[in-house]
Structure 1
């Protein structure tokens, strides 16, 4: 049995000849306590003999892939197929405040409540149909009409498509509207001069007719000018918005509308994004070049501040409690994050302050990991499994 009178930690930076008897180059299957004590790591208990990958803990259920299926596993053994053909690629998840979870592999994306899965976006209607005249009370003039698709299961509404101005004298009838299973079409009309978009009604069929008065048009369309939220990879939730990485661009959804985005709500990071981790007062974004601190409380006013910590390993960014992470001679506080930057394990705290937890002692050459933070018997542990 190997014993230590004192143990200073793992060190793979110094040459072996310069190490003391209190250093280790590597340590397998052990836990290292808060005062340097070494204990044997607990063994594993098999929960299932089926191969699971892309495991994620959601609110009351677990998501995983089995073969090409994405499934939700519930306490008690219930199993629901969320996506039957998502494939074998890595999946990125994000837990939403309402208990649902988004998922994406960069090509296929969706959102689930643990029972069923639907597309994260709602596609706009495929066509405008054909307008015709009808009886009604609208003032004579030029009008535009706008169509949106509304998913019946959750009420999510697509971006709007808009017509050219058409002459209306009384009412409007729309024919050959695109019918989509599980969706309705909301029809909006502009004012007499073609400006604005106000709800006239809804239909699940291929025709719609309306002949009300102008003063009946009061509920505005909220999705005019919106676009579907882009299919990205790394995903996080921040201040009611969903954030995602699309190459070197950080995109933000509309507040409380994870399926919609506006054309202006993205920020170029200068290099491919490898981590997104919000904390109080801003967002840490890892890239192939550096760990970036975006300071601010609103997306359009975030200030770009490089930390000079070096390239961030893909998948290494995770949330952690600040009071369990070393900062100077004490610990931090509030929400914090951990990642691998410049080969070192780096903690990021509220306000943009960062601290290397392994400086001059340990470096890794990993290029992609699956990471998590946990506590075992009061010992905080950062785990990063190479992929």
Structure 2
């Protein structure tokens, strides 16, 4: 039996002949205690003989792909099909403050409450129908109109269509025919003011036609999705200060505040190389790339400042959030929100303010290219897990 008077950790950096009797090159199926004691890692009990991949802990339920089916699994054993054909590619998730979880594989994206799944965004109408004259109380003059789809299941409203061409109202009303249709959605019709400016709710169409005969004073509710676009389909996803962030290659997109289904064309940041991790903290966002770990410093999306940490390339999927007080820094511990990732082959912790600390420098390095990572606390022992993919 191998015994240690004082275990100092794993060291795969020094040559084996230079290691002391207190080091290991590797350790499998063991836990390291807070006082450096080594004990056998706890076993497991099989709960299903199906193959579960892309496992994720959501708020009150678990998500996993079984074959190509995205499934929600509840503590009582209930299972709900969230998406019947998500495929076999890796799935990226993000827990939202309202209890829902977003999911995406880079081609298909959605959001679920653990019971059903719906598309993440609502598309903009691709046609405007045909305007015609009608009788009503509008002031005679020039007007424009816009259309949006509204999902009936949750009342989520998509981006507005492009503006119609100006048309003349001379009989006080407007009739629209040939309106676009989308299953499970209604159409909101917005009408401009008398001079063609703005967009105000005129009514809701549930079929192919719509007519407005009201007066100008009734047009008061503005279109809040004017100028927006559906949230981009990407991969890595995170939530930060009311916005959802998502990665497309080397570009980081942000949703509109408190509207995770919408974005604006200008709300993106190009990082210069493929993004491999996105981990927000209180006053910024850590973004891992194939070249370096970047800290986007600030509390407002528009004003985020780019700060290079020079920690080296970040492994895809290695970023996780963690409580700062569970991470050792010098002779003490950190505080507040923190994150962990593999950067430059080392496990690196990042804190608010952009402070980073290598937890394995000069002791442990890895050459892994992609992982599925998680942070947990078992028997008061903080553990960072990164499983090669």
Q: TM-score under structure 1 normalisation?
A: 0.99
How far apart are 1:139 and its partner, in Å?
1.0
SS of structure 1 residue aligned to 2:93? strand
Indicate which of 307, 310, 317 corresponds to 2:309. 307
Q: Which residue is equivalent to 1:269? A: 271
Aligned equivalents of 1:364, 1:84: Cα separation in 2: 37
Q: Which residue is equivalent to 2:154? A: 154
SS of structure 1 residue aligned to 2:99? coil
Indicate which of 324, 328, 331 corresponds to 2:326. 324
Q: Which residue is equivalent to 2:125? A: 125
How far apart are 1:274 and its partner, in Å?
0.4
Aligned equivalents of 1:379, 1:288: Cα separation in 2: 31
SS of structure 1 residue aligned to 2:265? coil
Indicate which of 328, 339, 357 corresponds to 2:359. 357
Aligned equivalents of 1:311, 1:20: Cα separation in 2: 30
Aligned equivalents of 2:77, 2:331: Cα separation in 1: 47
How far apart are 1:102 and its partner, in Å?
0.4
Aligned equivalents of 1:123, 1:261: Cα separation in 2: 12
Q: Which residue is equivalent to 1:166? A: 167
Aligned equivalents of 1:45, 1:275: Cα separation in 2: 32
How far apart are 1:178 and its partner, in Å?
1.3
Q: Which residue is equivalent to 1:24? A: 24
How far apart are 1:126 and its partner, in Å?
2.6
Aligned equivalents of 1:194, 1:340: Cα separation in 2: 55
1:24-103 aligned at under 5 Å gives the runs 24-103=24-103
SS of structure 2 residue aligned to 1:301? coil
C-alpha deviations, 1:57-80, integer Å up to 9, x for none? 111111110111001111222111
Aligned equivalents of 1:115, 1:19: Cα separation in 2: 53
Aligned equivalents of 1:26, 1:61: Cα separation in 2: 34
**Runs of 4+ more than 4 Å apart:** none
Q: What runs of 5+ residues in structure 1 fail to find an aligned partner?
A: none
C-alpha deviations, 1:37-62, integer Å up to 9, x for none? 11111111111111111011111111
Q: Is structure 2 residue 145 aligned with structure 1 residue 145?
A: yes
How far apart are 1:124 and its partner, in Å?
1.2
C-alpha deviations, 1:190-211, integer Å up to 9, x for none? 0111110000000111110001
C-alpha deviations, 1:344-375, integer Å up to 9, x for none? 00000111100000000000011000000011
Q: What runs of 5+ residues in structure 2 fail to find an aligned partner?
A: none
How many residues were matched structurally? 387
How far apart are 1:141 and its partner, in Å?
1.1
How far apart are 1:244 and its partner, in Å?
0.4
Q: Which residue is equivalent to 2:112? A: 112
Q: Which residue is equivalent to 2:381? A: 379
Q: TM-score under structure 2 normalisation?
A: 0.98
Aligned equivalents of 1:56, 1:318: Cα separation in 2: 13
Indicate which of 214, 237, 240 corresponds to 1:238. 240
Aligned equivalents of 2:241, 2:7: Cα separation in 1: 43
How far apart are 1:179 and its partner, in Å?
1.8
SS of structure 2 residue aligned to 1:351? helix
Aligned equivalents of 1:266, 1:195: Cα separation in 2: 28
Q: Which residue is equivalent to 2:8? A: 8
C-alpha deviations, 1:271-307, integer Å up to 9, x for none? 1110000011111000001000011111001010000
SS of structure 2 residue aligned to 1:215? helix
